[in-house]
Amino acid sequence: MTFLSVIVLAIIQGLTEFLPISSSGHLALAGMIMKVPEGDITFEIVVHLGTLMAVLAVYRKDLVELAAGILRKKRESLVLAGLLLTGSIPAGVAGFLLADSIEKIFDNPLIVSVMLLVTGCILFSTRFAKRGNRDNPTLIGSFIVGISQAMAIMPGISRSGFTISTGLFAGIKREKAARFSFFLSIPAIAGAAVLKLGDAGSSGIDTFMLITGFVISAITGYFALMILLRFLRAGKFSVFAWYCWLLGLTGLTVVLIGS
């Protein structure tokens, strides 16, 4: 992996992990276009941890408040913690049972392109979601949001896009839907990194390149998350559908022409 590809892939990871346009889909297509060789997944783990730092930075106050509330046994904090635990179950089960099978799909640009089109349809559908007034989902609602997060194990399916969209249809306030989504992402990202640690090793990527990838993904992830929140506040979450459709159709065209 060249230094340029490290920079490009780290930027893609940082931007697309939080914008509802599928980081896995972008990385799969970018890897194909840039002809990045398969190998050790240390770099993938590092840039994912970089985006995790972005979540912790943006929601640091809320996370500290939640942790303090749990320690003080505040009902509101305990309820939210229970909902997050419930919502984390589907992704945990899917990641543990299906991770190896799903990895093979990353090599299929046709499936990635189709899933990007599906993501676009889900995002566009939020135009018809009534504005919610709930701060958190119900217990059943949190599990359904968790299922939508589990579906994002498929490359081309946006984790943030599916979970936030589900939250909006569940009647959660826009910014609260994003908060719940990104709180759920913390154990999901950390858990995925832990599961992949056993496959990490020496891949020829030096420490400086890994640090560079981590820093770039963290910084770009932070700004991407702030941009997403602005679009949510303005009620323009669905505009990302057009980008997903464009990228998905482009991918399909390239695949069909090349076949």
Give the tens place of pLDDT for each residue, 116-143. 999 999 999 999 999 999 999 999 999 9
Give me the residue label for tokens 């990635």: 112
Q: HEC string of 187-226?
A: HHHHHHHHHHHHHCCCCCCCHHHHHHHHHHHHHHHHHHHH
Q: Give the Cα separation of 257 and 238 in Å (integer).
A: 30
DSSP assignment of 225-237: HHHHHHHHHTT-G
Give the Cα-Cα-Cα angle 113, 114, 118 (nearest 5 degrees). 120
76 pLDDT more than 80: yes
- Weakest mean pLDDT among 79-88, 133-142, 249-258: 249-258
Structure tokens at 72: 């003080």
259 pLDDT more than 70: no
182 pLDDT more than 90: yes
pLDDT band at 6 (very low <50, low <70, confident <90, very high): confident
Give the tens place of pLDDT for each residue, 31-73. 667 666 555 567 878 888 999 999 999 999 999 999 999 999 9
Rounded to an integer, the average pLDDT of 187-199 is: 74
The larger pLDDT score, comparing residue 210 to residue 169, is at 169
Identify which of 27, 32, 29, 5 has the alpha carbon closest to the alpha carbon of residue 16: 27
